[in-house]
């Protein structure tokens, strides 16, 4: 059922949203933040459905009025049925009053916000409450952000705006201050493993491994399941020379630069590659104290052996080097030069 109950490990956001529905006091603007893949988009869709659901027409709620009143407040069902006409139209993306705004290329541009303002100046076609979902709100350029701010200061009638972003720091503080902020947390490792095992048929050991590496993101976990991620991880650790961190200093510079070049070819996977490299080094540290806490559990034997050969300071220094490269990339440094420099520094430590 595509309602709030399908959103995993987000009890607090669900409680806040259902309380709004139960009390009938819905803010005109909501801001959902959290990493990619924790249910922000699904929660926005479920909320839009709940605001417009006509569950009594579906048969699902054809019970006594007393039973219906537990799920309904001011004509709004706290949990959408998913079967009535408004719910089906919202799920199919065909509801005229559920408006989605997404980046056009890398940015959400002012022309998109101006078009949105023109639409919202009109009355909703059929919805009790029109809902605007702005995905990747951090992609708004300054002009678009300022235009949206004016709309937040004078919110349209019968309209709810839901902004979705990874963190509040990526948005104008004045926009954040005019929204009810709801933070979504990473999904617990056990919950991810259970989802992969029961709903996707993933082998238990593989499910636990993927869940440990997915950083609390269901989207990331599903992507890892669909690809040859474990083979890629194994290549990454070996090709980078981190399978033997203490011997990395003796690796020829040509090999280090060749590896850096391969990493930079696919920029979309670069961020994840750096996280995998850090997780390997982290495991080499963790297993010195608690071997059952390693993330790459299928490589525990190799991790135990390698860890004995690596001083703690050496491992911490290498993690610091990768973190420095990540920060430089976030600051829009040259990708190729940053990764080449990172590899040369890793070999010197």
What does the pLDDT read at residue 12? 94
What does the pLDDT read at residue 261? 93
Q: Which segments of the chain belong to CATH 3.40.50.300?
A: 4-183
**Spatial contact of 233 and 299, defined as CB atoms under 8 Å apart:** no
Write the DSSP assignment of 14-36 as a string of letters. Answer: HHHHHHHHHHT---SEEEEE-ST
**Spatial contact of 337 and 328, defined as CB atoms under 8 Å apart:** no
pLDDT-based confidence at residue 163 (cuts at 50, 70, 90):
very high
pLDDT-based confidence at residue 174 (cuts at 50, 70, 90):
very high
Give me the chain's average pLDDT, please.
Answer: 88
Among 72-76, 238-242, 249-253, the range scoring the smallest mean pLDDT is: 72-76
pLDDT-based confidence at residue 61 (cuts at 50, 70, 90):
very low
What does the pLDDT read at residue 56? 55
**10-35 per-position pLDDT tens digit:** 999 999 999 998 888 899 999 999 99
Question: Is residue 345 over pLDDT 80?
Answer: yes
Residue 104 makes CB contacts below 8 A (sequence gap 6+) with: 112
- Architecture in CATH for domain 4-183: 3-Layer(aba) Sandwich (3.40)
Question: Is residue 57 over pLDDT 60?
Answer: no
Q: How far is CA 96 from CA 130, 155, 223, 245, in A?
A: 9, 19, 31, 57
**282-341 per-position pLDDT tens digit:** 999 999 898 888 888 889 899 999 999 899 999 999 999 999 999 999 888 999 999 999
What does the pLDDT read at residue 200? 83
What does the pLDDT read at residue 228? 81
265: Cα within 13 Å, side-chain hemisphere? 7
For 227-348, CATH number out of 1.10.760, 1.10.533, 3.30.200, 1.20.272 equals 1.20.272
How far apart (Å, rounded) are the C-alpha atoms in residues 75 and 56?
Answer: 10
14: Cα within 13 Å, side-chain hemisphere? 15
**117-145 per-position pLDDT tens digit:** 999 999 999 988 999 999 999 999 999 99
pLDDT-based confidence at residue 227 (cuts at 50, 70, 90):
confident
How do 159-165 and 29-33 pair as beta strands? parallel
**Over residues 27-50, mean pLDDT:** 94
Q: Is 66 exposed, middle or buried (0-12, 13-18, 19+ CB in 10 A)?
A: exposed
pLDDT-based confidence at residue 82 (cuts at 50, 70, 90):
confident
- For the full predicted model, state whether its pTM sits above 0.85: no
Question: Is residue 223 over pLDDT 70?
Answer: yes
Alpha-carbon Rg for the chain in angstroms: 24
The widest CA-to-CA distance across the chain, in whole angstroms, is: 77
Which of these, 307, 310, 266, 262, lies nearest to 287 by C-alpha position? 307
pLDDT-based confidence at residue 349 (cuts at 50, 70, 90):
low
């Amino acid at each position: 059922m595509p309602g709030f109950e399908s959103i995993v490990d987000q009890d607090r956001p669900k409680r806040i949203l259902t309380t709004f529905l139960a009390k009938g006091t819905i803010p005109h603007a909501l801001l959902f933040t959290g990493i990619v893949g924790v249910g922000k988009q699904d929660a926005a869709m479920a909320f839009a459905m709940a605001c417009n659901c006509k569950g009594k027409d579906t048969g699902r709620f054809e019970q006594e009025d007393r039973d219906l009143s537990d799920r309904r407040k001011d004509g709004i069902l706290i949990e959408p049925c998913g079967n009535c006409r408004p719910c089906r139209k919202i799920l199919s993306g065909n509801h005229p009053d559920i408006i989605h705004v997404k980046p056009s290329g890398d940015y959400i541009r002012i022309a998109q916000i101006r078009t949105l303002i023109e639409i919202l100046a009109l009355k909703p076609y059929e919805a009790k409450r029109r809902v605007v979902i702005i995905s990747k709100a951090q992609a708004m350029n300054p002009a678009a952000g300022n235009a949206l701010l004016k709309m937040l200061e004078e919110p349209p009638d019968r309209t709810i705006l839901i902004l979705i972003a990874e963190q509040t720091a990526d948005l104008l503080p004045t926009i954040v201050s005019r929204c009810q902020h709801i933070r979504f947390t990473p999904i617990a490792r056990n919950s991810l493993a259970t989802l992969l095992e029961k709903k996707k048929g993933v082998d238990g050991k593989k499910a636990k491994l993927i869940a440990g590496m997915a950083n609390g993101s269901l989207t990331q976990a599903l992507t890892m399941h669909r690809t040859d991620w474990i083979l890629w991880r194994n290549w990454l650790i070996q090709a980078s020379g981190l399978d033997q961190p203490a011997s990395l200093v003796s690796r020829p510079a040509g090999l280090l630069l060749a590896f850096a070049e391969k990493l930079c070819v696919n920029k979309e996977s670069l961020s994840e590659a750096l996280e995998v490299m850090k997780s390997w080094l982290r495991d080499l540290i963790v297993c010195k104290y608690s071997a059952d806490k390693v993330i790459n559990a299928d490589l525990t034997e190799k991790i135990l052996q390698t860890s004995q050969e690596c001083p703690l300071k050496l491992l911490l220094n290498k993690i610091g080097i990768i973190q420095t490269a990540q920060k430089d990339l976030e600051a829009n440094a040259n990708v190729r030069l940053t990764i080449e420099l990172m590899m040369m520094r890793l070999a010197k430590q």
